[in-house]
Copies of this chain bind each other. A is one copy, B any other.
């Protein structure tokens, strides 16, 4: 059974991608519906019919971001055999993140750290995603400790928070335009803090 009614004239995924790009570059409050409509190539009613509201559109973009960018980060973290290499490769991937030819750095790590009272729900959502990334790091490092990749007696949550902070700092500096060599040097230095080296 196919879909009833007039078919949608635009590609939902492509439109979502255009929205993601705008939110990534300008933030939630810095992106207007007018700009979204233009970039997505659709008009108001189509946007609201397909996505509900600006906030729901943002959550949809966030979900797309997780699929298209976040998942790869978690895969690096979890699938790299050596824990140290996993973290180092993760940091390198963060430094290399970019939305097409647009904004650099991790959207979640720097996103909506401050916003107006009316949009606090969006800020909380992004902050929660930062928590997810930190939890993933914590889990991976806990596993590393169990596997002997990290010496006993190391404060794992603190170590995870440290590398989370690195991700956030790298993302800000990437967004500010730091060149790849500098980011690589930062990562090299960050790995000097790896326990037991």
* Residue of A116, A127, A157 with highest tally of chain B CB at under 10 A: A116
Residue ID in chain B nearest A183 by CB atoms: B161
Docked CA distance A25–B168 (Å): 19
State which of B31, B109, B192 has its C-beta within 8 Å of the C-beta of A172. Answer: B109
A135 at the interface (CB under 8 A from B): no
A173 at the interface (CB under 8 A from B): yes
A142 at the interface (CB under 8 A from B): no
Docked CA distance A131–B111 (Å): 20
Residues on B with C-beta less than 8 A from A155 are 185
Docked CA distance A125–B154 (Å): 40
Main secondary structure of the interface of A (DSSP, over half): helix
**Contact (Cβ within 8 A) A165 B172:** yes
**Contact (Cβ within 8 A) A157 B169:** no
**Contact (Cβ within 8 A) B161 A186:** yes
Q: What is the total number of copies of this protein in its complex?
A: 2
Residues on B with C-beta less than 8 A from A116 are 26-27, 29-32
Query: Given A165-B169, A165-B173, A189–B30 Cβ distance below 8 Å?
Result: no
Residue ID in chain B nearest A126 by CB atoms: B176
Residues on B with C-beta less than 8 A from A109 are 172
Residue ID in chain B nearest A23 by CB atoms: B114
Q: Which of A126-166 contact B (CB under 8 A)?
A: 127, 130-131, 155, 157-159, 161-162, 164-166
A78 at the interface (CB under 8 A from B): no
Q: How far is the CB of A23 from chain B (nearest CB, A)?
A: 8
Query: Given A176-B127, A185-B158, A166–B164 Cβ distance below 8 Å?
Result: no
Residues of A within 8 A of B (CB): 24-27, 29-32, 103, 109-111, 113-117, 119, 127, 130-131, 155, 157-159, 161-162, 164-170, 172-173, 175-176, 178, 182, 185-186, 188-190, 192-193, 195
